[in-house]
A and B are shown apart, each in its own frame.
Chain A
Amino acid sequence: MKYIDEYRDGGLARSIAATIAREAVSGRHYKFMEFCGGHTHAISRYGIEDLLPSNVEMVHGPGCPVCVLPVGRIDDAIRLAMRPEVTLCTYADLMRVPASSGASLLKAKAAGADIRMIYSSMDAVLIAEAEPARQVVFFAIGFETTTPSTALSIGLARRKQLTNFSVFCNHVLTPPAIRAILDTANLPEVERVLVDGFVGPAHVSTVIGTSPYVGLAAEFEKPVVVAGFEPLDVVQAILMLVRQVNEGRSDVENQYIRAVTAEGNLIAQREIAEIFELRETFEWRGLGELPASALRLRETYAQFDAEQRFDVVPVPAADNPACECGDVLRGLKKPADCKLFGTVCSPETPMGSCMVSPEGACAAHWTYGRFRDRAKASAVRAMA
């Protein structure tokens, strides 16, 4: 497929990795965070860690909207779906995310709730139009990549004058999460994630552009390289980061020039601004309450806000106490450090959301990375 196959050339990847090995200064450790789950997935799936020299380390970031959604919001969605008049439309990613007390949307559906998996938010609008007796609620999640589509769907529902369509909005913003990772001055030392730079978001950046990262890179003196999700994109971005570190630079660079510009998609930004406004604060799984990090519907669109229509009152909910998703999301721990990993927690029976989404660090490590651990362990045994 055009624009995919040419960015998956294994020989070229090995060759660029050889350049990384040559340019990475020996005796110096390079630790980069890939912000997005899409990059985590590519790194695991294509074995990019195996190509890198031992002094270049990648840590996974919080860029997976399914993973950072706190349990309480899934509980809220299940409560909405259990109302007899409600049809809850959701992306499939959320169906198996564990809620409180072992619940999930999938189990609620099995118990009789009207929950439907959809491909596009537009489908939810069409369902509302076709079934006027149902109150159709779209469970909206996602970073800036997904927000424009929700905005356009709300606009479509308004033009169609639908009174039975609303949105349970959980859209979150990328730059505040990057800030939360970097702004560690007030944290105890063991909780600080010390990274030398970021592989910056791919498709988020098609919408917001590269300029929102400029202030962050300068303030915290960390390079950011926006990169595509194909394996060659990631390898090239790592080389660009190594070069920036070697040259003592902390610039924002764009590897994904075929899709991303400095200013981003202005039409999408206008659509988002028309419908949404900033929440004062929003809870992130792993990162806690972050100010100005999420969106809600503007007052002029209140009729489409499911939280207002159904009077959603948040009930605090705790994660499984043994689950380490929080530390994994902040890059403090690796999936295999969690004692639930691969024991009670697997993609079939996930305990935490990082094991659900294919982009979650734990699911990626379960599907691909653990075999590398096993190979390493047997190599060590063979040496002994």
Chain B
Amino acid sequence: MCLAIPIRVEALLPDQMARVTLGGVSKVVSIALVEDVRVGDYVLLHVGYALTRLDPDEAERTLALMREAAVPGLPTMKEAAA
């Protein structure tokens, strides 16, 4: 029920709406809940409404913390596949 997906804003439309695409499906959604949305931003989309903007710096910091928490020596998926 609380499912929300990260989605890229492709175009801004009148009335606080925006066009987004995911996996070839294009949709018009509301961005009324998020301030100053720009084309190229990623937002969390829930039942047709953007809930928040995803912060690229914090996303990178999270991944860095995860790598830091990992036990050294165990390969990640990418390294195992390489």
**A residues in contact (CB < 8 Å) with B:** 1-4, 6-7, 9-12, 14-16, 18-19, 22, 36-38, 63-66, 91, 93, 119-123, 141-143, 145-146, 148-149, 152, 201-204, 206-207, 229, 232-233, 236, 239, 255, 257-260, 265, 267-268, 271, 357, 359
Contact = CB atoms under 8 A, between A and B. Distances in A.
Contact of A206 (B51, B59, B66): B51
B63 A6 contact: yes
Interface residues of B, number: 43
Interface string B27-38: 000101111000
B51 A64 contact: no
16 contacts: A3-B42, A4-B5, A4-B6, A9-B78, A11-B74, A11-B80, A12-B77, A63-B2, A120-B49, A148-B49, A149-B46, A201-B2, A206-B52, A232-B66, A257-B58, A267-B33
Interface of A is mostly: helix
Contacts of B58: 257-258
Contact of B32 (A119, A121, A152): A152
Contact of A148 (B5, B33, B56, B79): B33
Residue in A2, A12, A232, A271 whose Cβ sees the most chain B Cβ within 10 Å: A12
B33 A2 contact: no
B58 to A, nearest CB: 4
Given A12-B77, A258-B58, A146 B67 contact: no
Q: Can you list the 3 inter-chain pairs with the closest CB atoms, starting with the nearest?
A: A120-B48, A15-B70, A3-B6
B47 A19 contact: no
Contacts of B70: 12, 15-16, 18-19
B76 A257 contact: no
A142 B44 CA distance: 17
Contact of A11 (B23, B56, B75): B75
B35 A267 contact: yes
A63 B52 CA distance: 20
Given A12-B67, A15-B71, A259-B44, A93 B1 contact: yes
A145 B46 contact: yes
A192 B70 CA distance: 35
B47 A91 contact: yes
Interface of B: 1-6, 8, 22-23, 30, 32-35, 42, 44, 46-49, 51-52, 54-56, 58-59, 61-63, 65-67, 69-71, 74-80
A378 B73 CA distance: 32
B44 to A, nearest CB: 6
B2 A36 contact: yes
Contacts of A37: 1-2
A202 B2 contact: yes
Nearest to A63: B2
Contacts of A232: 66
Contacts of B63: 6-7
A202 B3 CA distance: 9
Given A64-B1, A141-B1, A207 B51 contact: yes
A357 B1 contact: yes
B68 to A, nearest CB: 10
Contact of A143 (B1, B44, B75, B76): B1
Nearest to B23: A1
Contacts of A123: 48
B47 to A, nearest CB: 5
A146 B2 contact: yes
B55 A146 contact: no
Contact of A259 (B52, B65, B74, B76): B52
Given A19-B70, A142-B1, A148 B51 contact: yes
